[in-house]
Structure 1
Amino acid sequence: MLVTLLTDLVAAAPSDATQLTGLAGWVVDVVDALGPAGVGVLVALETVFPPIPSEVVLPVAGFLAGQGHMGLATTIVAATLGSVVGAIVLYAVGAKLGRPRLRRAVDAMPLVDRGDLERAESWFDRHGGMAVLTGRVIPVVRSLVSLPAGLERMSIPLFVALTALGSAVYNSVLVGAGYLLGDRWTDVGEYSDVVNWVVIGAMVAVLAWFVVGRLRRNRRAAAA
């Protein structure tokens, strides 16, 4: 699916960012106009409107960072802030509308159907707050999982923390891939399954680090 999407929306990527066309060219124009803030704006839009593919926006941002348009770390931070802002918007929509009105609103949206929302709700029902973290690697769910979080009035600080963590890992992998691949950034789409497994592995490593650190602190506190 990602390969087809990239083929339809993006021309063969030249080595010069100014020669990019289609969606990729639009990303370049926005970043040229706004700098790293443009990355944040684009990712926030991608989060709120899932049909905009992060598999294009993030690798192109990494490609631009590799060409010296902005720093790699700055790009990842801007993308993560955009993810969090977009997620908060969707959380607020879910909390404000409630389930019946939300489903009617989704039915009226182009390119998003009720099945997408129900999939996100099912993921949240099965995994609770962790769905906000792990859902970042699942297409469509990565955005829409914020809606059931809002419906259930999940703790906002926890929601923001898990969103930021999951988004930072996901964005780092895709931006980093675009940075390393350079003018071959479209290869990210061809290896989307591998990219997703890398993201999952990185999330597991981060969670393991967090849990081990918490256990060590608890043991030290108990021994004191």
Structure 2
Amino acid sequence: MISPAALGYGSRMLNAATDTALSGVAAWAVSLMETLGGVGAGIAIALENLFPPLPSEIILPLAGFTASQGNMALVEAIAWTTLGSIVGALLLYGLGALLGRERMIRIADWMPLVKVSEVLSAEKWFAKHGKKAIFFGRMLPIFRSLISIPAGIERMNLLVFGALTAAGSLIWNTVFIMAGFYLGENWHIVEQYADVLKYIVILAVVVALAAWIVYRVRAARRARAGRADPTEDSGAA
């Protein structure tokens, strides 16, 4: 039987390995951004889309922190990371369309740190929600990348896919980059609260969309009521 002490030691070793890996990703991302500026941030996020284990919850706040140090403008960081998200998503879309479902599942099974179950979950979610899955999927870890695969397999309209990807990625990237920008050297705090922030962002988007729909419905009703009311015309006559 493994003793509690041994379990505690193993846990500490695992945490240390995780911290080392995250430090490696952070150091690589900062180096890339300091060397290439906004382009480097875009490349990092494009790779994050292609390789889901790379955490955007670290890369995006780091982009904000790098912008706060004057290595690139804040708007530049947001623009390039959003472009990187689109490029990465389009590459996965293309792979899905080119290789098909069975081969993509075999590739996912071969890739380290990627689970076939996650690919299948993204596939089911896309089948159920369609366009909404693409938009909101950009705000969910792992799904942010994998949701592009079933969209490509099903040959979703490319312009619609690109527009929804751009919109969802712009919101997600902006929130995390702004957080990293204003937190400065404490950017790592964002990663600790990433799950909470994720739900706040999604809730805010849902509320904003609902408010927009209500506004448009009311405007349409007022317009129809104005056309149907003959009072003004008869009074003028």
TM-score of the pair, normalised by structure 2:
0.81
1:160 correspondence with 2:162: yes
Residue in 1 that maps onto 2:19:
7
Change (3 A) 1:208 1:101: same
Shift of 1:89: 0.5
Q: Which residue of 1 aligns with 2:9?
A: none
Gaps in structure 1 of 5+ consecutive residues: 12-21
Q: How far 1:139 moved relative to its partner?
A: 1.5
5+ residue gaps, structure 2, are 1-14, 228-237
Matching residue of 1:113: 115
Residues 120-150 of structure 1: per-residue CA shift (max 9 Å, x gap): 1111122111100111222111100000011
How far apart are the structure 1 equivalents of 2:150 and 2:64?
A: 31
Over alpha carbons, which structure has the higher Rg? Answer: 2
Task: Give the residue type in structure 2 aligned to 1:35.
Answer: G
Residues 48-93 of structure 1 show CA distances to partners (whole Å, capped at 9, x for unaligned) of 1101110111010000111121111111111111001100011111
| CA distance, structure 1, for counterparts of residue 218 and residue 163 of structure 2 | 21
Q: Is the 8 A contact 1:6 1:186 kept in 2?
A: no
Is the counterpart of residue 62 in structure 1 residue 64 in structure 2?
A: yes
Aligned residues: 211
Offset at residue 214 of structure 1 (A): 4.9
RMSD: 2.1
Residue of structure 2 in register with 1:183 after alignment = 185
Label 1:221 to 1:35 Cα distance change in 2 as closer, same or farther (>3 A): farther
1:135 has 2:137 as partner? yes
Cα separation, 2, equivalents of 1:217 and 1:92: 40
Q: How is 1:198-217 mapped onto 2 (pairs within 5 angstroms)? A: 198-208=200-210, 210-212=212-214, 214-215=216-217
Note the C-alpha offset of 1:190.
1.3
- Compute the displacement of 1:217 (Å): 6.9
Percent of paired sites with the same residue: 47
Partners of 1:77 and 1:153 lie apart in 2 by 27
